[in-house]
């Protein structure tokens, strides 16, 4: 008989987990509180843009092994439930566990013995706290490491699977689910819930530190005339350092790094064991993101109210339509807030998005962004921005400034078009001095 399970939360983690469980042969009930999202999914459409997800969902639906329901229509029969709800940031930096608590509440009955697999990112000791509070349920911490833009691929081919539990039987049940991945040689680490929780936070914190570090090195490169991409390549070849997450840019964003670094800082402080290095990286990142607009206006050399800027990219990184905690949105809003006329274009954004200042005009293409602009700023590393027709762009612009916060544009082409290029951690390039 097909095994049944519930997945709660139809966000990036829940949708990818549901796709994985269908692939593993489960019958999946996807529980989602947002009824509009339920209807959308049941009509065969997806609320997010993720490669491979549409196919995986179509397969699940065709085999009648995937259905989406609101909590009011959910069956509590499956004794295996994956909690994949958000743990957003409180103003204090702490993780808000209220969504997770309502999920656990839903499955908590005196007799259930349901295994709750906690995939949501939670601070250390959360699983223990939940086990103490809900003795009828069994908890396994199973943090998720997927990246947006490659969520399905990462879920089906993770670097590792982490399982943390004090309940040997529950651990063995969940371990068995991941057997197809173990068979492919993917390491499965079985540990305590506290260690599993800390593995997740430490991984994100260390990656965030790497990004914040290389961004400060980029500033230093600008001060001494060095090139941060060369420095990153040079240090990244040392296998103890590794070449990933050493791309300098506008600062880290998205729904995970800013929230998880803040939550780790806050929990560690409360536990009397502060993580000062993570704290410093998070602060450096906030400062960096706050300085993006000022640098552009400074280069334009006009009064804010007299400046026109075109922004290329709004999402927090390429390959996703997610604008949460996006440095590109910070930049755009900060410019608009200071009276700058701003036009923005993003290939993943069609209509004026929530969270973007209403004074910002959202344009249909790159050229419209350049029209009359004193400066064009590349804020997200979409592949198409590395291959733009800079001659046409230069003809449309009023000014000569290009700021490339992602170091992806073709330096020679920008300069050949008579424009002045400012990248991150590199000497500027001007038409008379191609650098």
145 contacts ligand UGA (rule: CB under 6 A):
yes
Q: Is the dihedral of CA 27, 33, 34, 35 positive or negative?
A: positive
Stretch that binds ligand UGA, among 68-76, 96-104, 245-253, 276-284 (CB under 6 A): 245-253
Stretch that binds ligand UGA, among 76-84, 138-146, 181-189, 361-369 (CB under 6 A): 138-146
231 contacts ligand UGA (rule: CB under 6 A):
no
| Helix/strand/coil for 58 | helix
379 contacts ligand UGA (rule: CB under 6 A):
no
Q: Least Å distance between CB 33 and ligand UGA?
A: 20
| CA distances from residue 314 to 150, 328, 358, 373, 401 in whole angstroms, order as listed | 19, 5, 14, 17, 19
Query: In 10 A of CB 160, how many CB atoms?
Result: 12
246 contacts ligand UGA (rule: CB under 6 A):
yes
Among 193, 254, 310, 347, binds ligand UGA (CB under 6 A): 254
256 contacts ligand UGA (rule: CB under 6 A):
yes
82 contacts ligand UGA (rule: CB under 6 A):
no
Site for ligand UGA (CB under 6 A): how many residues? 21
**Distance separating alpha carbons of residues 77 and 79, to the nearest angstrom:** 6
Q: Least Å distance between CB 44 and ligand UGA?
A: 25
**Distance separating alpha carbons of residues 400 and 419, to the nearest angstrom:** 5
**Distance separating alpha carbons of residues 326 and 281, to the nearest angstrom:** 17
Among 252, 345, 390, 405, binds ligand UGA (CB under 6 A): 252
Cβ(224)–Cβ(277) below 8 Å? no
Among 65, 288, 317, 400, binds ligand UGA (CB under 6 A): 317
Q: Least Å distance between CB 147 and ligand UGA?
A: 4
Q: Least Å distance between CB 380 and ligand UGA?
A: 8
| Helix/strand/coil for 118 | strand
| Helix/strand/coil for 404 | strand
Residue 117, CB half-sphere, CA atoms under 13 Å: how many? 32
For ligand UGA, the closer CB: 193 or 313: 313
155 contacts ligand UGA (rule: CB under 6 A):
no
**Which two structure tokens, joined as six digits, stand for 109?**
């009955």
Instruction: State yes or no: is 84 an active-site residue.
Output: no
Q: Least Å distance between CB 316 and ligand UGA?
A: 5
- Which residues are bridge partners to 68 per DSSP? 30
146 contacts ligand UGA (rule: CB under 6 A):
yes
- Which residues are bridge partners to 404 per DSSP? 378, 423
Q: Least Å distance between CB 114 and ligand UGA?
A: 24
Q: Measured at the alpha carbon of residue 12, what is the angle toward residues 10 and 18, in degrees to the nearest 5? A: 60
For ligand UGA, the closer CB: 115 or 379: 379
Q: Least Å distance between CB 261 and ligand UGA?
A: 11
Among 247, 288, 422, 426, binds ligand UGA (CB under 6 A): 247
Among 49, 61, 147, 269, binds ligand UGA (CB under 6 A): 147
Among 6, 120, 141, 148, binds ligand UGA (CB under 6 A): 148
End-to-end CA distance of the chain: 67
Radius of gyration of the chain (CA): 24
For ligand UGA, the closer CB: 156 or 397: 156
Cβ(387)–Cβ(361) below 8 Å? no
Give the x/- contact pattern for ligand UGA in 83-122, rule: CB under 6 A: --------------------------------------x-
Cβ(34)–Cβ(69) below 8 Å? no
Cβ(92)–Cβ(151) below 8 Å? no
Of 5, 84, 221, 256, the active-site residue reads 256
Give the x/- contact pattern for ligand UGA in 176-215, rule: CB under 6 A: ----------------------------x--x---x----
**Distance separating alpha carbons of residues 194 and 215, to the nearest angstrom:** 31
Cβ(8)–Cβ(83) below 8 Å? yes
Stretch that binds ligand UGA, among 30-38, 57-65, 100-108, 242-250 (CB under 6 A): 242-250
What DSSP string describes 166-224? S-HHHHHHHHHHTHHHHHTT--EEEE-HHHHHHHHHHHHHHHHHHHHHHHHHHHHHHHH
Supply the residues annotated as catalytic.
256
Applying CB under 6 A, the residues found at the interface with ligand UGA are: 121, 144-148, 204, 207, 211, 245-247, 249, 252-254, 256-257, 260, 316-317
């Amino acid at each position: 008989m097909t095994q049944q399970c519930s997945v709660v939360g139809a966000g990036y983690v829940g949708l990818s987990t549901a796709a994985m469980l269908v692939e593993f042969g489960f019958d999946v009930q996807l529980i989602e509180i947002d009824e509009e999202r339920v209807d959308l999914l049941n009509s065969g459409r997806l609320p997010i843009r993720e490669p491979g997800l549409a196919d995986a969902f179509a397969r699940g639906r065709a085999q009648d092994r995937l259905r989406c329901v609101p909590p009011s229509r959910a069956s509590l029969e499956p004794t295996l439930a994956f909690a994949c709800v958000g743990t957003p940031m409180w103003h204090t930096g702490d993780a808000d566990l209220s969504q997770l608590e309502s999920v656990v509440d839903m499955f908590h009955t005196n007799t259930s013995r349901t295994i709750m697999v906690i995939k949501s990112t939670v601070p250390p000791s959360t699983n223990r706290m939940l086990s103490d509070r809900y003795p009828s349920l069994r908890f396994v911490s199973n943090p998720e490491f997927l990246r947006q833009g490659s969520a399905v691929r990462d879920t089906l081919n993770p670097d590792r699977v982490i399982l943390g539990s004090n309940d040997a039987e529950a651990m063995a049940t969940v371990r068995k689910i991941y057997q197809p991945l173990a068979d492919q040689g993917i390491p499965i680490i079985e540990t305590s819930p506290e260690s599993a929780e800390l593995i997740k936070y430490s991984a994100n914190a260390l990656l965030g530190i790497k990004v914040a570090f290389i961004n400060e090195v980029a500033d230093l490169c600008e001060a001494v005339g060095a090139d941060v991409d060369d420095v990153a390549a040079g240090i990244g070849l040392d296998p103890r350092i590794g070449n990933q997450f050493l791309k300098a840019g506008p600062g880290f964003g998205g729904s995970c790094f800013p929230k998880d670094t803040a939550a780790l800082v806050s929990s560690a402080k409360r536990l009397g064991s502060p993580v000062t290095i993570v704290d410093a990286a998070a602060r450096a990142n906030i400062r960096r993101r706050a300085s993006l607009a000022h640098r552009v206006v400074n280069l334009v050399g006009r009064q804010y109210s007299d400046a026109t800027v075109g922004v290329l990219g709004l999402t927090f990184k390429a390959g996703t339509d997610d604008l949460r905690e996006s440095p590109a949105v910070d930049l755009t809003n900060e410019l608009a807030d200071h009276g700058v006329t701003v036009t923005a274009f993003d290939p993943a954004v069609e209509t004026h998005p929530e969270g973007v200042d209403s004074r910002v005009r959202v344009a249909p293409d790159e050229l419209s962004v350049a029209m009359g602009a004193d400066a064009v700023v590349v804020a997200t590393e979409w592949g198409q921005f590395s291959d733009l027709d800079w001659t046409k762009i230069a003809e449309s612009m009023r000014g000569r400034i290009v700021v490339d916060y992602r170091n992806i544009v073709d330096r020679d082409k920008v300069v050949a078009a008579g424009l002045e290029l400012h990248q991150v951690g590199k000497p500027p390039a001007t038409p008379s001095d191609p650098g």
